[in-house]
Structure 1
Amino acid sequence: MQFLACFKRSDKRISTSLFPDKNRAKRQVDQKSDTNFHVAPGNSIEVDGSSKDGLGKVAVPATAATPVTPDEELRINGFRVEESEKHLETEEGGVPSVYSSSSVLLRLFGTGLTPRTVIIFTHEPQRYGGPCQVPVTEKFRLKHADPGGKSGLVEVELPDVVKNKKYFYLCAKYEDSDPLSSSEQLVQQQPFLHQGAEPYMRLTSYKPFLPLWVSCIIIIVCLTFSALFSGLNLGLMSLDRTDLKILCNTGTEKEKRYAKAIQPVRDHGNYLLCSILLGNVLVNSTFTILLDSLTSGLIAIVFSTIAIVIFGEITPQAICSRHGLAVGAKTIMITKCVMAITFPLSYPTSKILDWLLGKEIGNFYDRDRLKELVKVTNDVNDLDKDEVNVISGVLELRKKTVSEVMTRLEDCFMLDLETILDFETITEIMKTGFSRIPVFEEDRDNIVSILHIKDLAFVDPEENTPLRRLCEFYRNPLYFVFYDQTLDVMFREFKSGKIGHMAFIQSVNSEGEGDPFYETLGLITLEDVIEELIQAEIVDETDVYTDNRRKVRRERIKRQDFTLFAQDRDPNAQRLRIAPNLKLATFQYLSTAVQPFRSDCISEAVLRRLLTQNIVHQIKFKSVDKNDPRYSIITRGTQVDYFVLILEGRVEVTVGKENLLFESGPFTYFGIQALTQNLGYEVAVETPQQVMGSLQSLNRDAQMRHTFIPDYTVKAVTDLLYIQISRNLYLAAKRATLMERSQKLGDQSMDPIDAEVEKLLNSLDDNDHNSVTPDMTNLTVHSGTKASISSSMAPSPTTALNVRVSWDLVCMV
Structure 2
Amino acid sequence: PRVVGIRVEPLTDSDEEDEHSPFVGYTSEGISVVHPDTEVRVVLFGWWLTELTDVAFTTNNNCSDRSNIHFSSFDVQVEGRVSVTAEFPHADENYQICLRMKRKIAGPNAKEELTPFWIAEGTKTWITTKLPPHKHYFPLPIQIAMIVVLLCLSGFLSGNNVGLLALNPTELEIIAKSGTKTERKHALAILPVRRSGNFLLCTQLICNVVVNSAIAILFENLTTGLLALIVSSFCIVVLAEIVPQSYCVKNGLTFGARTIFLTRFFMMLSSPLSWPLGKILDYVVGHEVTVYSRDRLMQMMIMATPAEGGHFADDLKIAMGAMGLSEKKVSNVMTKIDDVFMLQEDTVLNTKTVAEILHRGYTRIPVYEDDRHNVTALLFVKDLALINPDDNFTVRTVCRYHVHQLRFVMEDTPLRIMLEEFKRGDYHLAIAQKIVQPEEGDPFYELTGVVTLEDIVEEILQAEIVDETDTVTDNIIRAQRTKSQAHDLTRFLEEDSSVTTDISLQLRLATIQWLSTNQPAFHADMISRPLLERVVRQNVRHVDINNRAKTAPLYQKHQMSERFILILEGRVTVTNIGQNGMQFEAGPWHCFGEEVLNKLVEIAPHLSHHSNRFGSVSALSSSQDTLDDPNKEIKRHPAAFSPDFTAIALDECTYLEVNVSAYLNAYHASLMQLAIPKSPTITIENPDLQANNLQNTTIEEE
TM-score category (smaller protein): 0.5 to 0.7
Kept in 2: contact 1:97–1:205 (CA 8 A): no
Kept in 2: contact 1:479–1:502 (CA 8 A): yes
2:217 and 2:354 mapped to 1: Cα distance? 97
Does residue 152 (structure 1) correspond to residue 52 (structure 2)? The answer is no
Cα 1:561–1:196 change in 2 (3 A) is closer
Matches within 5 A, 1:159-198: 171-172=96-97, 193=120, 197=124
Alignment correspondent of 1:307:
235
Alignment correspondent of 1:450:
378
Post-superposition Cα deviations, 1:341-362, rounded to whole Å, max 9, x if no partner, equal 111111111111111111222x
Matches within 5 A, 1:562-581: 581=493
Q: Equivalent of 2:445, from 506, 509, 518?
A: 518
In the alignment, structure 2 segments of 5+ residues that lack a partner are: 45-54, 76-82, 100-115, 511-532, 538-702
**Secondary structure of 1:514's aligned partner:** coil
Kept in 1: contact 2:471–2:486 (CA 8 A): no
Alignment correspondent of 1:320:
248
Shift of 1:191: 7.9
Q: Equivalent of 2:497, from 576, 585, 588?
A: 585
Shift of 1:582: 3.7
**Secondary structure of 1:479's aligned partner:** strand
Shift of 1:394: 1.4
Post-superposition Cα deviations, 1:713-745, rounded to whole Å, max 9, x if no partner, equal xxxxxxxxxxxxxxxxxxxxxxxxxxxxxxxxx
Alignment correspondent of 2:105:
none
**Secondary structure of 1:518's aligned partner:** strand
Post-superposition Cα deviations, 1:369-389, rounded to whole Å, max 9, x if no partner, equal 111111111128996222111
2:300 and 2:2 mapped to 1: Cα distance? 91
Structure number with the bigger relative contact order (C-alpha 8 A, sep ≥ 6) is 2
Kept in 1: contact 2:157–2:207 (CA 8 A): yes
**Secondary structure of 1:553's aligned partner:** coil
Matches within 5 A, 1:122-141: none
Does residue 108 (structure 1) correspond to residue 40 (structure 2)? The answer is yes
Post-superposition Cα deviations, 1:367-413, rounded to whole Å, max 9, x if no partner, equal 11111111111128996222111111111111111011110011111
Kept in 1: contact 2:38–2:87 (CA 8 A): yes
Kept in 2: contact 1:119–1:141 (CA 8 A): yes
Matches within 5 A, 1:202-601: 207-361=135-289, 363-379=290-306, 384-498=312-426, 500-557=427-484, 561=488, 581-582=493-494, 585=497
**Secondary structure of 1:418's aligned partner:** coil
Shift of 1:558: 5.3
Matching residue's letter, 2:8: G
Kept in 1: contact 2:432–2:449 (CA 8 A): yes
What do you get for the CA RMSD once the two structures are aligned? 4.5
1:435 and 1:549 mapped to 2: Cα distance? 18
Cα 1:79–1:419 change in 2 (3 A) is same
Cα 1:172–1:323 change in 2 (3 A) is farther
1:87 and 1:341 mapped to 2: Cα distance? 44
Kept in 2: contact 1:84–1:105 (CA 8 A): no
Cα 1:87–1:152 change in 2 (3 A) is closer
Kept in 2: contact 1:85–1:295 (CA 8 A): no
Matching residue's letter, 2:383: D
Cα 1:540–1:77 change in 2 (3 A) is same
2:449 and 2:297 mapped to 1: Cα distance? 32
Matching residue's letter, 2:438: E
Post-superposition Cα deviations, 1:90-146, rounded to whole Å, max 9, x if no partner, equal 899xx9999xxx97776421389xxx976779xxxxxxxxx89xxxxxxx998xx99
**Secondary structure of 2:235's aligned partner:** helix
Q: Identity percentage over the alignment?
A: 34
2:415 and 2:466 mapped to 1: Cα distance? 20
In the alignment, structure 1 segments of 5+ residues that lack a partner are: 1-22, 29-74, 122-130, 133-139, 160-168, 175-188, 566-579, 595-644, 652-664, 669-813
Post-superposition Cα deviations, 1:38-86, rounded to whole Å, max 9, x if no partner, equal xxxxxxxxxxxxxxxxxxxxxxxxxxxxxxxxxxxxx965234777679
Alignment correspondent of 1:631:
none
2:246 and 2:194 mapped to 1: Cα distance? 20
Q: How many residues align?
A: 468
1:557 and 1:535 mapped to 2: Cα distance? 22
Cα 1:79–1:205 change in 2 (3 A) is farther
Post-superposition Cα deviations, 1:416-456, rounded to whole Å, max 9, x if no partner, equal 11111122222211111111111111111110100112212
Matching residue's letter, 2:406: L
1:306 and 1:376 mapped to 2: Cα distance? 37
1:422 and 1:647 mapped to 2: Cα distance? 31
Kept in 1: contact 2:367–2:377 (CA 8 A): yes
Alignment correspondent of 2:631:
none
Matching residue's letter, 1:470: V
Kept in 2: contact 1:171–1:192 (CA 8 A): yes
1:460 and 1:521 mapped to 2: Cα distance? 34
Cα 1:454–1:197 change in 2 (3 A) is same
Cα 1:531–1:77 change in 2 (3 A) is same
Does residue 78 (structure 1) correspond to residue 8 (structure 2)? The answer is yes
**Secondary structure of 2:279's aligned partner:** helix
1:492 and 1:201 mapped to 2: Cα distance? 98
Kept in 2: contact 1:230–1:313 (CA 8 A): yes
Matching residue's letter, 1:524: V
Cα 1:491–1:111 change in 2 (3 A) is closer
1:433 and 1:87 mapped to 2: Cα distance? 106
Shift of 1:527: 0.5
Kept in 1: contact 2:147–2:215 (CA 8 A): yes
Shift of 1:272: 1.0
Q: Highest Rg: 1 or 2?
A: 1
Shift of 1:273: 1.2
Post-superposition Cα deviations, 1:765-803, rounded to whole Å, max 9, x if no partner, equal xxxxxxxxxxxxxxxxxxxxxxxxxxxxxxxxxxxxxxx
Shift of 1:466: 1.6
Kept in 2: contact 1:400–1:487 (CA 8 A): yes
Kept in 2: contact 1:158–1:205 (CA 8 A): no
**Secondary structure of 1:522's aligned partner:** strand
Matching residue's letter, 2:42: G
Kept in 2: contact 1:87–1:296 (CA 8 A): no
